[in-house]
Amino acid sequence: MKFLIVGLGNIGSEYAETRHNIGFKVLDALAGASNLFFRTDRYGDVCELKHKGKMFILLKPSTFMNLSGNAVRYWMQQEKIPLEHVLVITDDLALPYGKLRMRGQGSDGGHNGLKHINQILQTTQYARLRFGISAEFSKGQQVDYVLGLWSDEELKTLKEHIERAGKAALSFGLIGLPRTMNEFNTK
């Protein structure tokens, strides 16, 4: 059984440590914990993670955030992965820092990556794991905040939040969406 786990972010070293790249960071941590490496392939960097009898295709799109749907559609088709086995990991300004929220469907919430995925897949009926980055910015500073570096205070706990998000992603494939939501959305 295969699952496609998509971590949203932007390619390039200038974006590597920004809040907007949390999806990439979660996938890097998952791969690193199993001593796996990503290979550059069509529409992104890809890695196969086998865990408890399941195959997780980890995808970091190389299309930039606003064109993420192209990579998602391609890898779903390439690996013959049904929509119900797709999970997209993204940052979320509406959630407090480090809070996780998994849902089986929903709006794009103003997130351009999700907006493009919705447009390309012609549906909002896919799972997403939102990682809270809070909204600690002044009016008109949203882009600078999202594309900004983590604060020193956030960096103190970032690793543990990333690891928890990785566990939630694997749980999605192992025990399903409802049970994963019950476990990870409440803490």
Residues with catalytic function: 20
| CA dihedral sign, ordered 27, 135, 118, 177 | positive
Long-range contacts of 73-82 (CB under 8 A, 24+ apart): 73/120, 73/121, 74/42, 74/43, 75/4, 75/6, 75/43, 75/44, 75/46, 76/4, 78/42, 79/2, 79/4, 80/2, 81/2, 81/3, 81/4, 81/57
For the chain, list the strands marked E by DSSP: 2-7, 39-41, 44-51, 54-61, 86-92, 100-103, 127-132
Angle value at C-alpha 167, between 164 and 170, nearest 5 degrees = 155
